[in-house]
Structure 1
Amino acid sequence: MEVLNYMRLFVEVARVKSFRRAAEVLDMPNSTLSRNIAALEKTIGLRLLHRSTRKVELTEAGEVYFKRCQSIVEEARIAHEALLDLAERPTGTLRVSMPVDLAVDYLAPILSDFARANPLIDFEFDLTSRRVDLLSEQFDLAIRMGPPPTSPSMLVARQIAVLPRYLYAAPAYLKKAPPLRHPQDLAEHVLCMGQNARPQDNKKTFYRAEEVVEVVAATRFAMNSVGLSRSLAKQGVGIAVLDSVLARDDVASGQLRRVLPDWSLAPVQVHAITETRLLPARTRLFIDFLKEQLHKQIKPG
């Protein structure tokens, strides 16, 4: 890369036959330019320029070198501009790994809007909660729910959304279940927990303004699907932990009801994870678009 830079400087000096004018074009001190050309000549082992107080002339070796360097420098400039264009133009195939529930319940309309706005982008979606290896698998990014990954250390996590979580149950379940006036009452209820919950994760923390309560509530149905926990709740099996967007239609239709409405659980973070901060235009635009659209969709309460 250093030699290519030397070539670029030499071509400009040879073109205008003046160190001073070349330094002005290159926006660098005359002394720095002269020192770089001297370093190039030392690297090659040949004098390329005859210098005098009045003019600069090419040596025989300089003439030959100038003819070759012109095309090399021009090709390098064209290649650089082509890459810049690629970096800024949203084209190519976007490969994304994301959870099924998030993709179906949140991202489907966002994806269709993004596709219409960017007709030169093709898409490959892998719907899974599996932690894909971004270093070895061919994904541009992974969308994941939960805290950002701590390893490998080179991964870059950008938070694109925060999903508030509340309790919802079917009216039929609430009619036959014990009264539910405080989080402590959950000890007598059945929870349907998604988002990789486990039966042994009995402790749940609830928040009401500045008040924090930790309760022990058994999870009879543990799963890695928020959609399934929602369906089970609608069947009257138990209480599901959902966010307001996911539960909105069911609440409107009367299939679910918000319980302990003053209380919430800790929200779930959503991250876009990449293996580098240097992203092509299609990936940068997609992440920004997701973040903007999810922010419009998700409102606490």
Structure 2
Amino acid sequence: MELLSYMRLFVEVARTKSFRGAAEALDMPNSTVSRHISELEKAIGLQLLHRSTRKVELTAAGEVYFKRCQSIVEEARIAHESLLDVVERPSGTLRISMPVDLATGHLAPLLSDFAKAYPLISFEFDVTPRRVDLQSDPFDLAIRIGPLPTTPSTLVARQIALLPRYLYASPDYLKAAAQLTHPDDLTKHVLCIGQALTNQEEAWRTFYRGEEEVNVMIASRFRMNSVGLSRALAVSGVGIAVLDTDLAHEDVASGRLRRILPEWSLAPVPVHAITDTRLLPARTRLFIDFIKARLN
């Protein structure tokens, strides 16, 4: 049991590259972490860490040991937490990174329902579009909209939803704008594109109507990494926004937005739950399954 505890400390130091960071994460004195790591190195007979006043780095032996210890410590944690499944009372803190538009537009009511269903779970939400490092940042999972990240290959992605996308504009904008009866007409309109920023002011967009496809080169005057902001701009009459039905629902119901070219749609955008391991504690697995079922 002592060896497993030392391995857990080592994994946390290797993940954070800091004795202080590991001590804070594990809620124990910095000196205790340092002493136990030294005892582990003495027992193994190899130096696992290069220590300096500025940073901590893994030695070659430490790299090998870290890869093996990660899975051992994770499996031990899962085995312990799986006992909670037996009594159906998962607990602990669930740490999730998610974009603000998804959090406020889709997940807020679902989070409330999940919290009621599992009262022993507490939550920490990091609402940001940034690509968090799940191997070093203290998150159980990240929920992201759009294409999967290409690196690192060790990440595990589970698709939990497909969000349909349509075009919306305000009545005031439509009164003053050029005629709009076909996707080709969009070249004469102002678009507010709320997706990941790129250096391209113009991009091809594919629109679908049944089996029919139309590719249109669209210039977007307003580009941003926030679907919520593009929705707000559309409501104010600035231009046309690409939104999914849930996000646009209230504005359509109140008359602030209208769905335009209703027979046409863009390709749905995938939503993924991303973790750094397939071995998930009960609270993380239950949350992913719950969100996937409700979003679908």
Structure 1 and Structure 2 fold alike (TM over 0.5): yes
Would the aligned equivalents of 2:81 and 2:281 in 1 still touch at CA under 8 Å? Answer: no
In the TM superposition, 1:92-111 aligns within 5 A as 92-111=92-111
1:216 shift after superposition: 1.3
Would the aligned equivalents of 2:182 and 2:261 in 1 still touch at CA under 8 Å? Answer: yes
| Distance in 2 of aligned mates of 1:197 and 1:81 | 42
1:165 shift after superposition: 0.4
Tell me whether 1:147 sits opposite 2:147 in the alignment. yes
| Distance in 1 of aligned mates of 2:103 and 2:156 | 21
Q: 1:82 to 1:157 in 2, by over 3 A?
A: closer
Q: 1:92 to 1:180 in 2, by over 3 A?
A: same
Would the aligned equivalents of 2:161 and 2:292 in 1 still touch at CA under 8 Å? Answer: yes
- SS at 1:202's partner residue? strand
Q: 1:83 to 1:197 in 2, by over 3 A?
A: closer
1:81 shift after superposition: 7.1
Q: 1:222 to 1:234 in 2, by over 3 A?
A: same
Instruction: Name stretches of at least 5 consecutive residues in structure 2 with no aligned partner.
Output: 1-76
| Distance in 1 of aligned mates of 2:278 and 2:159 | 14
1:150 shift after superposition: 2.3
Tell me whether 1:233 sits opposite 2:261 in the alignment. no
1:202 shift after superposition: 2.4
Task: Name the structure 2 match of 1:288.
Answer: 289
Would the aligned equivalents of 2:208 and 2:267 in 1 still touch at CA under 8 Å? Answer: yes
- SS at 2:208's partner residue? strand
| Distance in 2 of aligned mates of 1:263 and 1:160 | 24
- SS at 2:163's partner residue? strand
1:86 shift after superposition: 4.5
Would the aligned equivalents of 2:82 and 2:282 in 1 still touch at CA under 8 Å? Answer: no
In the TM superposition, 1:13-162 aligns within 5 A as 82-86=80-84, 89-162=89-162
Q: Which amino acid aligns with 1:167?
A: L
CA RMSD of aligned residues (A): 1.6
- SS at 1:97's partner residue? strand
Paired residues, number: 217
Would the aligned equivalents of 1:87 and 1:280 in 2 still touch at CA under 8 Å? Answer: no
| Distance in 2 of aligned mates of 1:83 and 1:195 | 38
- SS at 1:101's partner residue? helix
Would the aligned equivalents of 1:166 and 1:258 in 2 still touch at CA under 8 Å? Answer: yes
Q: Which amino acid aligns with 2:147?
A: P
Q: 1:151 to 1:289 in 2, by over 3 A?
A: same
TM-score (norm 2): 0.71
Tell me whether 1:246 sits opposite 2:251 in the alignment. no
- SS at 1:136's partner residue? coil
1:269 shift after superposition: 0.2
- SS at 2:108's partner residue? helix
Q: Which amino acid aligns with 2:252?
A: V
Q: 1:183 to 1:197 in 2, by over 3 A?
A: farther
| Distance in 2 of aligned mates of 1:272 and 1:233 | 29
1:80 shift after superposition: 9.8
Would the aligned equivalents of 1:149 and 1:157 in 2 still touch at CA under 8 Å? Answer: no
1:129 shift after superposition: 0.4
| Distance in 2 of aligned mates of 1:260 and 1:206 | 10
Q: Which runs of 4+ in 1 moved over 3 A?
A: 79-84, 86-89
**Worse-superposed segment, 220-229 or 83-92:** 83-92
Q: 1:251 to 1:80 in 2, by over 3 A?
A: closer
Q: 1:134 to 1:201 in 2, by over 3 A?
A: farther
Task: Name the structure 2 match of 1:29.
Answer: none
Q: 1:192 to 1:107 in 2, by over 3 A?
A: same
| Distance in 1 of aligned mates of 2:260 and 2:268 | 17
1:253 shift after superposition: 0.9
TM-score (norm 1): 0.69
- SS at 1:217's partner residue? strand
1:158 shift after superposition: 0.4
Would the aligned equivalents of 1:86 and 1:280 in 2 still touch at CA under 8 Å? Answer: no
- SS at 2:151's partner residue? coil
